[in-house]
Structure 1
Amino acid sequence: MQITIDLPDALQISEADLRTELAISLFQQESITLGTASQLAGLHQIEFQQLIASRGICVHYDIEDLEQDLNSLREDGW
């Protein structure tokens, strides 16, 4: 999907910064996953995790996520 937004020049924000802020906001709202947020921000997942940690934002990871990860590891032979 492509969205075009006209921003006032006075805003002085780069496209990369805007994408990052959007990714953080959508992640905080639990609208997108960590992986999707990282891609939207154009960052490696670890870099995105470091960024949100620096802002005091926790990674959403609950029991269901843990169980899915464990099942995935089992399926892969771990």
Structure 2
Amino acid sequence: MKKEVFIDTPYITLGQMLKEESVISTGGQAKWFLRENTVKVNDEPDDRRGRKLYPDDTVDVPDAGSFVIRSKQGE
């Protein structure tokens, strides 16, 4: 089951999402985490911490689970 990540902005970056969901403890760790782990965004590998995630995007993180981005506005 995918965990829902609610955002109140048009998008969230991959690095911000990893920090918010406590996959990493600081934003600065995103670069190294993404270099050492295969994170998939919408079923494709992506290692860009600045990757913009929009509502309905899915993120699969090894050993942390799957996440789906949702808008708080219900858009």
The TM-score with structure 1 as length reference comes to 0.28
The higher radius of gyration belongs to 1
The structure richer in helix per residue is 1
Q: Which has the higher contact order (CA 8 A, sep 6+)?
A: 2
